[in-house]
Chains A and B, each alone.
Chain A
Amino acid sequence: MPMEQLEKAIARARQNGAFRRIQKTEAPEKEPVTNEHAEPVSELRTNRASGLKTNVTPARLSHLKKMRVVAAEDERPEADIYRVLRTRLLHKLTRQGFHSLAVSSPARGDGKTMTAVNLAVSLSRELSHTVLLVDADLRRPSVHQHFGIKPKLGLGDYLLSKTELTSCLVNPGIERLVLLPGRGRVGSSSELLKSDRMTSLASELRERYADRIVIYDLPPMLASDDAIGLLPQVESVLLVVREGKTRRSEIQRSLELLKEKNILGTVLNEGENTTVDYLYY
Chain B
Amino acid sequence: MAELGPSETWGLNLREALAALGRRKWPCFVATLLTLGIGLGLALFLPPVYRSEATILIEEPDVPPDLVTSTVAGYADERLQVITQRVMTSIRLSDVIERFGLYPEERDTKPMGVLVDRLRSAFAFNMINAEVGDRRERGGISAAIAFAISFDHSDPLVAQQVANELVTLYLAENLRARREQAAQTTQFLTGEESRLQERLTGLERQLAAFKQEHTGSLPEQMVGNLQATTRTEQSLLDVRRQIRGIQERKVYLQSQIAQLSPNLSPVDAQLTGTESERRLALLKADFARLSGVYAPAHPDLRRLVREIEGLEREAGVTPDRRVLEQETETTRAELAEVSERLAAGHPEVVRLTAQLAGLEQTLAEIPVSNTPGPTANPAYVQIATQLSAAEIEITALRQQESTLQAKIRNLEELVLRGPEVERTYLDLQRNYQNVVASYQDVVAKRRAAELGEALESESKSETLSLLEPPTLPDVPIKPPRLILAIASICLSLAAGASIVWLLEALDPTIRGARQVFQMVGEMPLVTIPAIQTRADIWRGRTRAAAWLISGCLLLTGSAVWVQKYVTPLDVMWAAIQQRMVTLINSSS
Contacts and interface: CB of A to CB of B under 8 A. Distances in A.
Contacts of B15: 273
Interface in B479-530: 508-513, 515-516, 519-520, 522, 524-530
Interface residues of B, number: 27
B509 A266 contact: no
Given A89-B525, A263-B520, A270 B509 contact: no
B525 A85 contact: yes
B511 to A, nearest CB: 6
A12 B344 CA distance: 201
Nearest to A111: B528
B535 A78 contact: no
Interface string A241-278: 11111111101100100000001111111111111011
A70 interface: yes
B535 A272 contact: no
Interface residues of A, number: 42
B87 to A, nearest CB: 66
A88 interface: yes
A243 B509 contact: yes
Contacts of B512: 243, 268, 271-273
A117 B314 CA distance: 203
Given A246-B509, A272-B23, A273-B16, A255 B526 contact: no
A248 B524 contact: no
Contacts of A66: 533-535
A247 B510 contact: yes
B535 A270 contact: no
B527 A278 contact: yes
Contact of A266 (B22, B522, B531): B522
B281 interface: no
B528 A115 contact: yes
Nearest to A65: B533
Contacts of B524: 241, 265-268, 271
Interface string A124-136: 0000000000000
B91 interface: no
Contacts of A84: 525-526
B467 interface: no
| Majority-rule SS of A interface residues | mixed
B572 interface: no
Contact of A247 (B509, B513, B520, B534): B509
Nearest to A264: B525
A239 B524 CA distance: 9
B342 interface: no
A53 interface: no
Contact of A252 (B509, B519, B522, B528): B519
A81 interface: yes
B130 interface: no
B533 A268 contact: no
Contact of B511 (A238, A239, A244, A277): A244
Contact of A251 (B16, B510, B526, B529): B510
B509 A268 contact: no
A271 B508 contact: no
A125 to B, nearest CB: 16
B562 interface: no
Contacts of A251: 510, 516, 519-520
Interface in B297-346: none
A257 B530 CA distance: 27
Nearest to B519: A251
23 contacts: A81-B526, A81-B528, A82-B526, A84-B525, A84-B526, A88-B525, A241-B510, A243-B509, A243-B511, A244-B23, A244-B509, A245-B509, A246-B509, A251-B520, A266-B520, A266-B524, A267-B525, A267-B528, A268-B524, A270-B528, A273-B19, A275-B527, A278-B527
Given A81-B529, A243-B509, A268-B527, 12 more contacts: A65-B533, A68-B531, A81-B527, A84-B526, A244-B23, A248-B515, A248-B519, A249-B508, A268-B516, A268-B524, A273-B513, A274-B529
Interface of B: 15-16, 19, 22-23, 508-513, 515-516, 519-520, 522, 524-531, 533-535
Interface pairs A-B: 6 shortest CB-CB: A271-B527, A265-B525, A268-B524, A268-B527, A274-B529, A266-B524
